[in-house]
Amino acid sequence: MSKYILRRALGLIPTMFIIVTICFFFIRLAPGGPFSSEKKIDPQILKNIEAKYHLDEPLVVQYVRYLGNVVRGDLGPSYKYKDYDVNFYIGKSLPKSLLLGSLALFFAVIMGMGAGMLSSLRQNTWVDYLSMSVAVIGISVPLFVIGPVFMYIFAIKLDILPTSGWIDEQGLKALIIPVFSLSLAYFATVARLSRASFLEALRSDYVRTARAKGLKASVIMFKHVLKGASLPVVSYLGPAFSGIITGSIVIEQIFRIPGLGRHFVQSAFNRDYTMIMGTVIVYSLILVLMNFLVDVIYGYLDPRISYK
């Protein structure tokens, strides 16, 4: 098992390498550079700036230099915000996005599996219909609708929650609407997924065996059903987290949260190469680690997976 984990962990390195490479050249395919869009600069000054950031060197040299820096953990200076480097901005904004994203994922999984379990136990009753209707709403209503709607109701009309800002100014209240909005779609998918897999497990032969042994319904649910039924949810965690990352970009925009997503969008507009690269690397690393974690959990839950 530990050998398997180690091998999988080593496998992350080439993946990250491919992502960094694709992204590096992809950005530089575009016409114009980070300093060309600004108002006319004296060509000499432009040259000096480009020399300072090594933009005058051949692309391959830039690439190798950048790769070397990244391996040492240095994401370089920002091309737009001259006072600090990319590491500083990411260090400041990443914890916020991480908190937002992991809370959203946590709620989505816990509440979603709860709803799915209840629905499957009370199939075709009002409990089932209610939670599945909420789930369909969650899937169909886009994030950028649900967020503003919650904001309108709870912040503008009822005035019980703040419209924007972060914990440092607003306290924990600031998290409620963003986390809830962000998690709704994933709550919905987890609820539907887990309802289906709970139903399948409840109808399975091994649950029939467990019932024929005289076990209580609660024991059957938590000992015999839960493990197998959570597998589809576990394998959904990867895509869910990648969705939550994209979603958090929108949420940070709507609720003016100074997280990684806002830096990312701004840097994309500004063609701030190093900043774009930095955010993409951090996002990809999170995603790749998440997928790795999912594989490990899956292997732990399902004894049939062999580690060869």
Partner 1 sequence: MANSITNKTVKNESVVLNEFDQPVKGVSLWQDAWKRLKKNKMAMFGLLMIIFYALISLSAPLLPIYSYKQQVLGHQFLPPSTRPAGELMYERQDYLLRAMANKEGRELNAVEIERLSDLRDSITTEKKILLSGEEILVHERVYIFGTDSLGRDVLARIIYGGQVSILIGLVGALASVFIGVVLGALSGYIGGTFDSLMMRFVDIMYSLPYMLLVIIFMAVFGRAIGNLFFALAIVSWLTVARVVRGQIMSLKNSEYVEAARSSGAGTARIVFLHLIPNTAGVIIVYTTLRVPSFIMLEAFLSFLGLGVQAPFASWGVLIQDGVYAMTTYSWLLWFPATAMTLFLFSMNFLGDGLRDALDPQSKNKL
Partner 2 sequence: MNNDAILKVDGLKTYFNTDDGIVKAVDGVSFELRKGETLGIVGESGSGKSVTNLSLMKLIPSPPGKIMEGTAILDGKIDILKMNEAQMRELRGNKIAMIFQDPMTSLNPFLRISTQMIETVILHKKMSKKDALKKAIEMLDLVGIPNPEKRVFDYPHQFSGGMRQRVMIAMALSCDPEILIADEPTSALDVTIQAQILELIQALSKRLGTAVIMITHDLGVVAGMCDYVVVMYAGRLVERGTNDEIFDDPKHPYTQGLIKSVPRLDKPDVGRLFSIEGQPPNVIDLPECCPFHPRCNKAMDKCRTTTPAVTILENNREVRCFLYEGEK
When binding is defined by CB under 8 A, the residue of 242, 293, 296, 297 that contacts partner 1 is 242
As a whole number of angstroms, the distance between CA 17 and CA 26 comes to 14
Q: Which does 269 bind (CB under 5 to 8 A by kind): partner 2, partner 1, none?
A: partner 1
Find the binding residues for partner 1 in span 27-86 (CB under 8 A).
Answer: 27, 30
Distances (CA, A) of 48 to 41, 58, 81: 11, 16, 17
DSSP 221: I
**Cβ–Cβ under 8 Å, residues 273 and 79:** yes
Which one of 78-86, 100-108, 173-181, 275-283 is the stretch in contact with partner 1 (CB under 8 A)? 275-283
As a whole number of angstroms, the distance between CA 233 and CA 112 comes to 9
Which residues, 6 or more positions from 107, have their beta carbon under 8 angstroms from its beta carbon? 179, 180, 183, 187
Which one of 58-66, 176-184, 216-224, 283-291 is the stretch in contact with partner 1 (CB under 8 A)? 283-291
Q: Which does 140 bind (CB under 5 to 8 A by kind): partner 2, partner 1, none?
A: partner 1
DSSP labels for 60-72?
HHHHHHHHHHHHT
Which residues, 6 or more positions from 267, have their beta carbon under 8 angstroms from its beta carbon? 78, 80, 275, 276, 279
Which one of 65-73, 89-97, 103-111, 267-275 is the stretch in contact with partner 1 (CB under 8 A)? 267-275
> C-beta of 123: minimal distance to partner 2 in Å?
9
Which one of 12-20, 64-72, 104-112, 223-231 is the stretch in contact with partner 1 (CB under 8 A)? 12-20
Residue placing its CB nearer to partner 2 in the complex, 94 or 127:
127
Nearest to 191 by CA among 238, 261, 127: 127
Which pair of tokens denotes residue 185? 């779609």
**Cβ–Cβ under 8 Å, residues 279 and 260:** yes
Dihedral of alpha carbons 5, 105, 169, 87, sign: positive
> C-beta of 293: minimal distance to partner 2 in Å?
19
Residue placing its CB nearer to partner 2 in the complex, 17 or 206:
206
Binding mask 107-146 for partner 1 (x = CB under 8 A): -----------------------------xx-xxxxxxx-
Binding site for partner 2 (CB under 8 A): 203-206, 208-216, 219, 223-224, 227-228, 301-304
Interface residues with partner 1 (CB under 8 A) are 15, 18-19, 22-23, 26-27, 30, 136-137, 139-145, 148-149, 151-152, 156, 192-193, 196, 232, 242, 245-246, 249-250, 253-254, 264-265, 268-269, 271, 276, 279-280, 283-284, 287-288, 291
